[in-house]
Structure 1
Amino acid sequence: MTAAQLPPVAPEVTATLVEDLSPRLRKRLDGAVAKLGARPAHRDGDTVTIAVDDETELRLHAPGGVVATSDAITCGCLLAPACVHRAAAACAAPVADPAPDLTDPPAPAAPGSAAHPGEPAAVPHPGEPAAPAPSAAPATTAALDGDPVPESPPEAATEAQRAAADALWSAGAAVLEAGVDGAGAVAQSALLRAAHTARLRHLPRPAGAALSVVTLLRAARAGDPSYRTADLVTALAELLGTAHRVGTASGAELAVVRGRARRPYSPDGSLRLYGLFTETVVTDSGHGGARTWVAGADGRLYTVGDVAPGGVGRALGVADRAVRLGDSALTHRELGRAGLAVSGATVSPDGRLGAGKGVKAVSARGAAWTQQPLAALWETPPSEQAARALRSTSRYADPEGGGSDLLFLDVELLGAVREPGGTCLLALCDGGVPVRLTVADDDPALAHRDNLMLLATAPGTRLRIIGRLVPALHPRLTLLACSHPTGEGTIDLGLDRLRRADLPDPVAPVHIAPPRPGGPGAHSPLHLLERRVDQTVPAGRAALGMLGDVTPDASRLRRAGLPTAAGLLTALCASAGRRERDLFGRLLPADTDGFAAHWLAAARYTAAVAESLCTAAWQPAQDDRAAAVSALAPSR
């Protein structure tokens, strides 16, 4: 049995089942989860049955696809319902998305005005004091006297929200204290309970971060090949950061920290859209599909997507299906090169076009990449494009900020470059910045790898390309689309396959030495702090506390002009190894909150400096073209 065979379980259901276990059974829970994963399971409609042993069956009933109550998990053993099997099944199953009825809190109405006609007044959440009715008398008196009307203080978090944020902080700090190996089902259930409470208190962003941490913890403990430590570092820092800011933020900052339960689609009137390209989408969770990028007359980017379970096979098939937008009969491939006229359009904050009943769309004439309004996308300097893309791909970017991580560049191909992670294509941007182009997906069923290797055999070819920024100390993109080498049309590099006849006169493949990264980040010792931040997540605080003296590393950071990094490294390791004793010499509990605060500061600092170095790497330098040409010359 795998987690994919089980229906998603609501976070509060898992938390309740684990909390109801006796202390003795909680100690056995992680072992029960592992044993249950080796047992066969089969699905019959909305019910999944797991054979616990030859005589006992465990059932998960998921009407609507989600196990929403603890009674929906039943077991046939003698100890049921107080057995460990029900909690183990809930811990082994995927975490369900938040319930749809948990929406954002309504915006407060202006004093003296009613809410929408026919709607009841907002009811405070149980346990929260009702807001006092606003009084209009002081404002009226002030207006009559000629004095300015006093402004109301910015909105602050309620006591219930602060308490929910404190619970999230404590649960996240406990995970950081124990590390991946120690953050078993019990620690995960504490996170799920805190996430559920936070969502009830209208804190969807920190609650979503907590659910992400749980999902990544389960992937790490199960040995999922798609798991990356950097993802868990980011999720933990997001969880601790937003939980901490709830108590201090107010006004607009609080709204950002609080987040939204769902991203609404807002009306955007009529749009005239021009197709750019179509990219294949294949996720580690087994989903596949296509996403077509289009641009409006003002240059704003929009997407039309179709992604669902199915993997790479579905990604290739969806490209030839009609887009889900109005009555348009265009396929994704066709829309990437054609145009669309949309009326009644709805758009999400991140640019996704809605497909509601009121949306109408008809085919229209497209535009070449060299024609307006698309040509304007390539007129922005690469450094400005990189800075914009980095703001949207930042680890801790505002979820409502929107923006795109795509770059539009005119390049000259230089040849193939061998790197420790594989071979990439080196190109020179207009402006003299050498950039590495890599494949977006290595799956052999997609055309990315074959197309990149074929382009590497045509040095000197000039192309107009679209790529996705890869944050690094040197300019790097994943190549998504390019103009056809003959100058006729465009190529979706994941779908269309280039042929050798499409290229200029064939030459032998050119392998050049990659130019050394220049700029302020070329020899930055920031990794001395980054690796300690990353090391804490899988190993926990105790492993970091055994490192001993880190003075040499701190001195190297100071010599490189990073005194803040040196101070953070010293404080982090000192906090990890600090254990106080009472009057009788017994060890007191470790300061979990203090260590979490030091780790959070180090994680956010390293992310900010890495993003700054990435931005600086895209700045053109006088000797970049000379360095790239000199590296290429001996190979020709």
Structure 2
Amino acid sequence: MSPDLPPVVPSVTAELVAALSPRLRKRLDAGVTKLLARPAVREGDTVRITVDDGTDVVLHAPGGTVTGADAIRCGCLLAPGCLHRAAAASAAPVADETVPPDPAGAAEETGTTEETGATTRPGRTSRTAQEETETATAEQRAAARAVSDAAAAVLEAGTDGAGAVLQAELLHAAHTARLAGLPRAWAAAVSVVTEVRAARSADPGHRLADLAGALAGVLGVAHRLPHATGPDLTELRGTVRQPYRPDGSLRLYGLFSEPVLTATGYAGAVTWTADADGRLYTVSDVAPGGPARATGAADRAVRIGDTALTHRELSRAGLAVSGATVSPTGRLGAGAGVRAVRASGVAWHAEPLDRLWAVPAAEQVTRALNGGRDLLFLEVTLTGTVRETTGDCLLADCAGLPLRLATAHDDPSLPHRDNLRLLAAAGGSRLRIVARLVPGPLPRALLLAVEHPADPAARVDLGLDRLQHADLPAGADTPPAAAVPTGDEAPLHLLRRRVHQAVSGGRRVLASAGSTSGDGARLRRLGLATAGDLLDDLHAAAADRSRDAFGRLLPADPDRFARAWLAAAVYTDAVERALCADAWGAAATEVSSPASLLRLRAGTGG
């Protein structure tokens, strides 16, 4: 996947790949690799790729996105049915149509939202008993089945085997789900494709856990939707666009800014603010682009009213907004009726921002695990560093709780990692930080912003600002990294490792003779009986290859393997959240029961 190419809507990629002959489909992955090695030149809304001396591929992207198959043209003799057009679409990022680049839309100003599958009719203001028992339509069940089959094929092949053809089939299923009124399934399927492409291109921001989560998300939605009714069905269908509701006048105080750099080809910045009651609001500027846009967006003016404040300035100043419109997630709209002017900001130690750090860490973690904001406002004492497989991270003490602080993004164009190395030299400093929770068996968070080590009235946005040695306390010196064990307190890693291995290597990794170890029995001996059963079932589903009457191997059952893997992934996620709550001293979250997992493995609803 190349960030130099404009995003392409999923239906275009699916259409171009479907039009290829079987012979060209076999050559598609090689064509994508060759195209990615060629330079791309942008001229306004057009991107030109020189394939060879006599052939150019041109992508026309008005508004920054390729929206039609005819917008990708090739000069070779086989066009329009050539390999080059499909390879260009497969090499480009997938356009995320659920998050339009310009947030100033009609929905923000009218307070409406486009909901598919739950159409609002004139004069209809309340949910009826019929809606409470509503079930998915035949078209939606068929679309969910198509998404499930395509996602199961990707899982069976693993990232190494999920080439452009399998990706296009999942994008086609996603497009079918969108037409059937299932935007949540559509978005989940698209996220799987973007994560697969990031994995195959060795994107530095890719994490195997993210791909596993995306696959579990799309398979879970497709599995539950045919059996859902009422509010559950509405939630599983999802919405195309978030509603923006009027919120009157707001007095906001800047907290921090963070860069955005996604695998879908979007980049920019998001600035977090809070009102006098501690409610959080965001101002975003995210559009198609790469690392250069992520680093430069902080110095762009925010898109609210006529204010000339940049994101970097807003993170330390304030904003007075009238006629505000706000989404359910706290994102501020930029409609024509919104007015905003610059106001004074306050330090983190002053009211009203000070109250964010007054909430106990356990209470903040409970809120995050129950679906609330995953931001943590903590006061910590830096104690050193610890070396992990993904790099060094900071060790800190948070009210007696040992905490690990990792970088929020590994892209070398962002200063996260350099700033973390410098902060390691400020050992013993007591600082206020803003971090994002990472669920796991050990207290862990991604460091986003920190109080300036030498000036408590200042702050550092670790993804945008660069610390210097002069910013550190006098006599600071980086301590040697400690080799602290990183294993789980409970042996859940035995199951998680197999879940992740299936994602990267596919069914064949778990079906090999050397993979059927005694881990299931070990889990049962240590009290995780359900985990042991799920692991054994996963191995059995991977190795299940029946034979016909002549002894020939029959095709594998990808549906059974997908169900077994999904059950293991759901259980692992639930237990990890429970372990996370316990590690932070927070209220325990609900863990999936063995009965519900058995229903999942059997293919029934629940």
TM-score (norm 1): 0.80
Task: Determine helix, strand or coil for the equivalent of 1:291.
Answer: strand
Which region of structure 1 is more displaced relative to structure 2, 36-45 or 254-263?
36-45
The separation in 1 between residues aligned to 2:2 and 2:325, in whole angstroms, is: 35
Amino acid at match of 1:246: L
- Cα gap change, 1:54 to 1:114, in 2 (>3 Å): same
**1:22 and 2:33 matched:** no
- Cα gap change, 1:339 to 1:34, in 2 (>3 Å): closer
**1:34 and 2:33 matched:** yes
Shift in Å, 1:164: 0.5
1:482 equivalent among 428, 442, 450: 450
Shift in Å, 1:449: 5.0
Q: Is the 8 A contact 1:169 1:244 kept in 2?
A: yes
Shift in Å, 1:197: 0.9
Which region of structure 1 is more displaced relative to structure 2, 474-483 or 258-267?
474-483
1:439-478 to 2 correspondences below 5 Å: 439-441=407-409, 448-449=416-417, 451-478=419-446
1:206-285 to 2 correspondences below 5 Å: 206-283=185-262
Q: Is the 8 A contact 1:8 1:94 kept in 2?
A: yes
1:104-253 to 2 correspondences below 5 Å: 104-105=115-116, 107-108=118-119, 114=123, 153-253=132-232
- Cα gap change, 1:161 to 1:413, in 2 (>3 Å): same
The separation in 2 between residues aligned to 1:296 and 1:423, in whole angstroms, is: 35
Unmatched 5+ residue regions in structure 1? 117-148, 393-402, 621-636
Task: Determine helix, strand or coil for the equivalent of 1:579.
Answer: coil
Task: Determine helix, strand or coil for the equivalent of 1:585.
Answer: coil
Output one character per residue of 1:430-462: Cα deviation in whole Å (capped at 9) or x when no partner: 2x2121233445677766556545544444433
What is residue 400 of structure 1 aligned with on the other side?
none
- Cα gap change, 1:559 to 1:331, in 2 (>3 Å): same
Unmatched 5+ residue regions in structure 2? 101-105, 107-112, 587-606
Amino acid at match of 1:466: V
The separation in 1 between residues aligned to 2:517 and 2:170, in whole angstroms, is: 36
Output one character per residue of 1:139-192: Cα deviation in whole Å (capped at 9) or x when no partner: xxxxxxxxxx97764221111100100111111111122222332232222112
The separation in 2 between residues aligned to 1:67 and 1:499, in whole angstroms, is: 42
Task: Determine helix, strand or coil for the equivalent of 1:425.
Answer: strand
Task: Determine helix, strand or coil for the equivalent of 1:583.
Answer: coil
1:428 equivalent among 376, 391, 397: 397
What is residue 552 of structure 1 aligned with on the other side?
518
What is residue 323 of structure 2 aligned with on the other side?
344
Aligned residues: 571
1:595 equivalent among 544, 551, 561: 561
Amino acid at match of 2:87: A
What is residue 8 of structure 1 aligned with on the other side?
7
Amino acid at match of 1:14: T
Amino acid at match of 1:426: L
- Cα gap change, 1:73 to 1:498, in 2 (>3 Å): closer
- Cα gap change, 1:354 to 1:183, in 2 (>3 Å): same
Task: Determine helix, strand or coil for the equivalent of 1:324.
Answer: coil
Task: Determine helix, strand or coil for the equivalent of 1:523.
Answer: coil
Shift in Å, 1:566: 0.3
Shift in Å, 1:210: 1.3
Which region of structure 1 is more displaced relative to structure 2, 493-502 or 571-580?
493-502
Task: Determine helix, strand or coil for the equivalent of 1:427.
Answer: strand
Q: Which has the higher contact order (CA 8 A, sep 6+)?
A: 2
Output one character per residue of 1:480-502: Cα deviation in whole Å (capped at 9) or x when no partner: 33334566413124255666676
Shift in Å, 1:407: 1.0
Q: Is the 8 A contact 1:240 1:600 kept in 2?
A: yes
Amino acid at match of 2:26: K
What is residue 492 of structure 1 aligned with on the other side?
460
The separation in 2 between residues aligned to 1:580 and 1:445, in whole angstroms, is: 51
Q: Is the 8 A contact 1:448 1:493 kept in 2?
A: no
What is residue 360 of structure 1 aligned with on the other side?
339
Q: Is the 8 A contact 2:132 2:231 kept in 1?
A: no
What is residue 97 of structure 1 aligned with on the other side?
96
The separation in 2 between residues aligned to 1:227 and 1:462, in whole angstroms, is: 32
The separation in 1 between residues aligned to 2:390 and 2:72, in whole angstroms, is: 45
1:335 equivalent among 314, 317, 320: 314
The separation in 2 between residues aligned to 1:33 and 1:251, in whole angstroms, is: 44
Which region of structure 1 is more displaced relative to structure 2, 45-54 or 584-593?
45-54
Amino acid at match of 2:275: G
Greater Rg over alpha carbons, structure: 1
Output one character per residue of 1:532-565: Cα deviation in whole Å (capped at 9) or x when no partner: 1111122221231113573521121112211111
Amino acid at match of 1:489: A
Task: Determine helix, strand or coil for the equivalent of 2:8.
Answer: coil
The separation in 2 between residues aligned to 1:60 and 1:587, in whole angstroms, is: 45
1:610 equivalent among 565, 569, 576: 576
Amino acid at match of 1:462: R
2:531 equivalent among 557, 565, 589: 565
The separation in 1 between residues aligned to 2:216 and 2:482, in whole angstroms, is: 37
Q: Is the 8 A contact 2:58 2:73 kept in 1?
A: yes
Q: Is the 8 A contact 1:447 1:493 kept in 2?
A: no
Amino acid at match of 1:475: P
Amino acid at match of 1:11: P
Aligned-pair RMSD on alpha carbons? 3.3
Which region of structure 1 is more displaced relative to structure 2, 496-505 or 187-196?
496-505
- Cα gap change, 1:156 to 1:567, in 2 (>3 Å): same
Aligned-residue sequence identity (percent) comes to 60
Shift in Å, 1:344: 0.9
